[in-house]
Structure 1
Amino acid sequence: MTRRPICFYYGQGRLDDLAGYVRVVLQPDAYQPAELRYLAEQDVQTLAYLSLSEDQGPPAPWQRRERNPDWGGAFVHVDHPLWVAHVVGAAKQAVARGFAGLFLDTLNVELTYPEDVPHLLTLVAAVREEAEPAYLLANRGFGMLPRLAEIVDGIVFESFSARWTEQSYAPWPADVLEFHAQIAEQLLQLELDLYSLDYADSQGLADFAERRARQFGLQSFVSDRALSRA
């Protein structure tokens, strides 16, 4: 049976379902080392989620006052030495637990704190050098290209064609789809694995997202906002 290229699953268990993928992105605390070993034995490459510019934890000296309105996490000073140590430590811990690699999230600082772009690049490089993951997957991070492409192994274009909204799920308007298409064409010039992560609540919307991903050379995964499908 042909395995699908990637799965983003933020639940627990379902090892047999996850074994049907080449790579799976998981929450680092949701799986025990024995479960990670089982997936590795099935030739599944497990990637641990890691946020690089937002913190869901208790108050800390690296946090900014502002918070992400969608998820509630605090934005951080990316170059704060304690934040750097925190992120690198979490990366090392995930690899030590048995994860093959890491999925780097919250990389779009060019939209919030553009002055942090060079600091974020430095942090990504530190994660690569010190944690030594076998595979490093970045979520967007377009503001750090082309330098980012020299550090990571793959890029995910989240919400490439379809997104979640406050009420439901929907395709992007035509002008946004065109803008995303232009970015995708630029990504194709890079020697990286390329994926799309879209959100849909109907088969029609999911089919649209998958067709469009194939059109632009992206390996597709479609889920719900909670990433509860495997």
Structure 2
Amino acid sequence: MLPIAFYYGAGELDRLSRFGKVVLQADFYTEGELSVLKARGVQTLGYLSLSEDVGPPAPWQRPERNPDWGGAFVHVGDPRWIAHVVAQARRAMARGFGGLFLDTLNLEQTYPEDLPHLLTLIAAVKEEAGPDYLLANRGFGLLPELADLVDGILFESFSARWVNTDGYARWPDDVLEVHASVAERLLGLDVDLYALDYADSDELADFARRRAGEYGMLCFVSDRVLSRI
């Protein structure tokens, strides 16, 4: 089996069955579909956002929104937000997911005061939802404590990125060097390491996979909206 896939569409059970782990939108799959994937040896991870809310207006939301995806930033330490996220995690696990994919962990440049609250939230999700596997997306401002709470860390856009809705490119050399230094730090942690890169050509995809392998990461390459398997 291939190691991991990130797919934010629906269905495609046969194609997803080629992977050991698949990250999926939690509401896009039924209990029956998740059972099929589990029977085929696939560990399903349900998407969970920890610092952005795409739902209706709520008291834990900040006025600011993510300019790329439109979700409202939140006060991570608000007890009502914590209860909301934990409830989402419990529902995903009850539906049959094998674990959770923790997204929107990069608060060090926007709301660094919320980093301790974010660690508390991750610990609450782990304890109260009981996932078999937790995969964190980046969250480098939470290191090294994060590595004690999760099983794996994903370096999204490690080597290549989308630059607009139509184009993809490798990072400039100075950014690649910064990413490499972070990757070397990750190698010293006792967690599984993955990379997710974005590309629209075989050449760029091969560059991303090769470079990820040099830093001990298993790499998956897709498009901006994760519609390719």
Q: Could you state the TM-score of these two structures normalised by the residue count of structure 2?
A: 0.99
The 5 Å alignment of 1:43-122 reads 43-122=41-120
The 5 Å alignment of 1:122-137 reads 122-137=120-135
Q: What do residues 67-114 of structure 1 show as CA deviations (whole Å, max 9, x unaligned)?
A: 000001000000111100000000000000000000000000112100
Provide the residue aligned with 2:167 in structure 1.
168
Shift in Å, 1:8: 0.2
Provide the residue aligned with 1:155 in structure 2.
153
Percentage of matched positions with identical amino acids: 68
Provide the residue aligned with 1:28 in structure 2.
26
Matched AA of 1:40? K
Shift in Å, 1:165: 1.2
Show structure 1 runs of 5+ residues with no match.
none
SS at match of 2:47: strand
- State which drifts further: 162-171 or 193-202: 162-171
Matched AA of 2:140? F
Provide the residue aligned with 1:186 in structure 2.
185
Q: Could you state the TM-score of these two structures normalised by the residue count of structure 1?
A: 0.98
Show structure 2 runs of 5+ residues with no match.
none
Aligned length: 228
SS at match of 2:117: helix
Matched AA of 1:111? Q
The 5 Å alignment of 1:141-152 reads 141-152=139-150
Provide the residue aligned with 2:39 in structure 1.
41
Provide the residue aligned with 1:219 in structure 2.
218
Greater than 6 Å deviation, 4+ residue runs: none
Matched AA of 1:204? E
Within 2, Cα distance between the matches of 1:121 and 1:32? 30
Within 2, Cα distance between the matches of 1:59 and 1:73? 11
- How well do the aligned residues superpose, as a CA RMSD in angstroms? 0.5
Provide the residue aligned with 2:2 in structure 1.
4
Shift in Å, 1:131: 0.2
Matched AA of 1:185? E
Provide the residue aligned with 1:229 in structure 2.
228
